[in-house]
Amino acid sequence: MDLKGLFGGKERTFRPKKKFEPGTLRYQLHKKAMASLNSGLDLKAVVSLPAEEDLNDWLAVHVVDFFNRINLIYGTICEYCTDESCPIMSGGSKYEYMWCDGDKFKKPTALPANKYITNLMEWVESLINNEKVFPVNVDVPFPKNFVTTCKNILKRLHRVFVHVYIHHFENLVAIGAEAHINTCYKHFYYFVKEFHLIDPKELEPLRDMTEKICR
């Protein structure tokens, strides 16, 4: 699933994101995960924790990878997601998401979708680049609340899928990206279900679509 090849130069819309340093354990885990994904194996099997691997390492690798991929996906349609076209961050008429990060936005705040997602991507990037939250060296332990942090990141990244699928799917179809986005979403969905990382109510906006493509 070569998203960069599919989407050409559009990834330059967003600055480069975190990568794992070659030679590190997490780089090896990342390569193993990508090799399994690209081999055409059942995605349900691909997400399972490899034998003798640490769950936190597996979570860290996937959170960073999903962040990069979802960031790239949004970058392909961001020119269509404007203050005028998407004045609220929503997933259809039933779901509206308010932004709160405890820093710039201390209270839940309504934002246009593009500004919500920009704040979201910057917030995630600050977390994954913080070595106290995502340690780089294997001899440095993960913080005790690491799983909770991953759950919060993945919950919010899922909202980007919701917005893009519901409000910009025709833009994805226009560039021939439907199959690639579906594969990325299925990988994400099976992963969060495998490790119970997202509350089922957060998955409701895409339930009908999920039932069709994630049988």
163 is in an annotated binding site: yes
Other CB atoms within 10 Å distance of the CB of residue 39: 8
With CA atoms as reference, report the closest residue to 188 among 63, 30, 6, 51: 63
Q: 90 has which bridge partners?
A: 96
Cα–Cα distance for residue pair 193/47, rounded to 1 Å = 10
Going by C-alpha positions, the residue among 115, 196, 198, 129 that lies closest to residue 157 is 198
Annotated binding-site residue? 168? yes
Q: Can you tell me whether residue 137 is helix, strand or coil?
A: coil
CA dihedral 184, 61, 7, 183 (to 10 degrees): -10
* Tokens encoding 168: 């910009």
| Pair 121, 14: CB distance under 8 Å | yes
Residue 71 contacts residue 94 (beta carbons within 8 Å) = no
| Residues making up the binding site | 81, 86, 163, 168
| Residues making up the binding site for Zn(2+) | 81, 86, 163, 168
